Amino acid sequence: MPDDLEIARRVRLRPIAEIAARAGIPADAIEPYGKFKAKVGFDFIASLADRTDGALVLVTGINPTAAGEGKTTTAIGLADALNASGAQTMLCLREPSLGPCFGVKGGATGGGRAQVAPMEEINLHFTGDFHAITAANNLLAAMLDNHLHYGNALGIDMRRIFWRRALDVNDRSLRTTVVGLDGNGPVREDGFDITAASEVMALFCLARDLPDLEARLARVIVAERRDGSPITARDLRADGAMAALLRDALMPNLVQTLEGSPALVHGGPFANIAHGCNSVMATRLGLKLAPIVVTEAGFGADLGAEKFFDIKCRLAGLTPAAAVVVATVRALKLHGGAAKQTLGREDVAAVERGIANLAWHVENVKKFGVKVLVALNEFTSDTAEEIGAVKRAMAARGVETVPCTHWADGAAGAAGLARAVLDRIGEGGARFAPLYPEEMPLAEKIRTVAREIYRAREVAIPAAVARRLAAFEAAGFANVPVCIAKTQYSFSADPTLLGAPAGHVLPIRAVRLSAGAGFVVALAGEILTMPGLPRVPAAEQIGLGPDGMVRGLF
C-alpha cells in the first residue's frame, strides 16, 4: 500500500493562483511562496470586513490513542465533500510543528486521499511562520538577559523571571538550563518550551490584525520586580522588533487539498499545553470568503474543543454552527481495554465499553449549545457489528453517526458526513455559549472545566497556586479565560486512565499568566511544555531518496 507521501505525489497540484481564484481571492492579493503556496495580503483581508460571515463547523475527536483517529484527515475529507456537493467551503487548519513530525506522530497534513499539499513543504519549513515565532520569542529572551547584563535598570527580581526560550524540536535536555556562565551576565536558571507552547504562538493565533498583534506583544509579562509589579516586553523595548519579525508571518497561508479545495493553514499551538486552534486571522478570512468553514482543534474534545469554545470563540466573537466528533472502532477498542495487537479482530464488547469515552465527548460538546455529529473514520478491519454498536449507542443519545471512508475514497467517502453537516447547519437554532461567565473567579473557572468537561471529582489547588491566581485577579486579569494544560490521552491528568475514568482528582501544580494572549494557563499533573523524543524517533525514518526527494515523512 502506498504511503501518504506517495499518494500526494501522484496528484497534480493546481497553481496557487488558480486555487486563490477558486476561493475568491484575486491574484494581486496573494504573495506566492513557490508554485503551490502563498500568503494572503492584509489589504485584501481588510476589504472583506463588511461581508457576512459563513457557518463555522468544528471537527474534534475522542481522546487520542495509539490506534489513531484521523481528525485532521476527517476535516479535510469533509471540506472536500462539501465542495464536491456544491457547498462552497473553506478549510482552516493549524500548521504542523517539527516536534511531532520528527518525534512520535510524523506529519500532520492528513492522510490518504484526504491531505493538504504540498505535504512535505507544509510539514517542514512551510512559509517560515514557526521560525519567525521562535525568533520573536528568543529575541525577547535575549533582550531580557541583555538588560540584566547591563545593570538591570528596571529592577527585575532575578527570582521572578518567567520568560523562557523556545525551540520547535522535541529536546528534553533543554527543559531546564543555566544561562550567564563564563561571565556572560547574571547566572540564573532558564529553560526552553517547544515553540507551539510559546505565548508568542498563542497571541499570534489570537491576534485580529497587525495593530492587535503589536498590542498583545507589548503586554507580554516576562518578569516581576520585588514588589510584584510586572515587567513587560514594552518595558524592555522589545515589542517593536518582535512585531517586525512576525509581520509577514501573520498573513494567512493558502494551500490546497489533493482534490483542489482551498485551505488556509496558519498558526499551530498545541491543545494539551496551549489553546490548540489555528489563527483567528485565517478563520475570520475563511468566514468572509465562503458560506461554510471547516476547522479543527487539537487532540480530544476535552482539550481542543473546550479551548476552541471557551477561548478562541469567546475572544474572537465566533459562533460555531455545528461540531463533528471523530472516532474509530479501533480507538474505541483501546479505550474499552483491548490490547493493541488484537485490534484487527472483532470485539464488540470492547467497542461498547470504549463508547463511554465517545459519549462523554459528545455530551460535553452539547453543553456549549452546539449541534453535534459523530464521524466514524472506518478501517478495513471494522465489522458491521462493531459499527452498528457505535451507531446504536449514539442514536440512543440523539446523535447521528456517519461512517466515512475519505482516507481511501476522498470526497466520495465523506459525502454522507457532508449531507449530515449541511442538515445541521440548515436546522439553525444553535444557542452557543461558553461554559463559564467571564466574571467567575479564576479558580472556579478551573474547577468548572475540570468537573464539567474532565468529570473530575475535585480539583487540588495548592495554597501557593491559589495565591498566584489571586495575584492575577488583583492585577486586573480576573475576567480572562483559563487554559488548562494536561495530558491528551485521558480525561484525567493520568495518561494511563483511558475510557471514562470516574472519581479522579485534577492536580494543578502551577499557573502562568499569558497577558499577551489574554488567558491564564493552569498546568495539571505532569504535563511538560517541552516534549522529548521517543526511543525510536520518526526522524530516523526521514531522509532523501536517490532523486533528492524527501522520504519517510508521513
Active site residues: 71, 73, 94, 105, 271, 299, 379, 407
Chain position carrying cell 464539567: 452
What is the rounded CA–CA span in Å between residue 158 and residue 141?
A: 14
Cell of 468: 498566584
Residue tagged 503551490 (cell numbers): 36
**What distance in Å separates the CA atoms of residue 150 and residue 113, rounded to the nearest whole number?**
56
Backbone angles phi, psi at 82, to 5 degrees: -65, -45
From CA 255, how far away is CA 235, in angstroms rounded?
38
What letter represents residue 476's amino acid? G
Our CA angle for 347, 350, 356, nearest 5°, is 145
- Could you tell me where the DSSP H helices lie in 247-324? 280-289, 306-307, 314-316
Contact 90, 260 (CB under 8 A): no
Residue reference for cell 526522524 = 539
DSSP code of residue 378 = -
Q: Which position has the grid cell 479543527?
A: 296
β pairing state of 30-32 and 38-40? antiparallel
Quote the CA–CA distance of 472 and 401 in Å, as a whole number: 43
At position 351, the amino acid (one-letter code) is V
Beta pairing partners, 521: 483, 512
**How many CB atoms neighbour CB 505 within 10 A?**
14
Q: How far apart are CA 306 and CA 435, in angstroms?
A: 8
Residue 192 to residue 184: CA distance in whole angstroms: 19
Which pairing describes strands 114-117 and 110-111: parallel, antiparallel, or unpaired? antiparallel
AA letter at 97: S
Cβ neighbours around 234 below 10 Å, total: 15
Instruction: Please give the Cα distance from 391 to 351 (Å, whole number).
Output: 11
| Beta carbons of 417 and 404 less than 8 angstroms apart | yes
E-strand stretches of 318-379: 320-327, 371-377
In whole angstroms, what is the distance from residue 472 CA to residue 467 CA?
A: 9
> How many residues would you count in the chain?
554
What are the cell numbers at 80?
A: 472536500
Q: What are phi and psi of 80, to 5 degrees?
A: -60, -40
Residue 408 CB burial class (10 angstroms; 0-12, 13-18, ≥19): middle
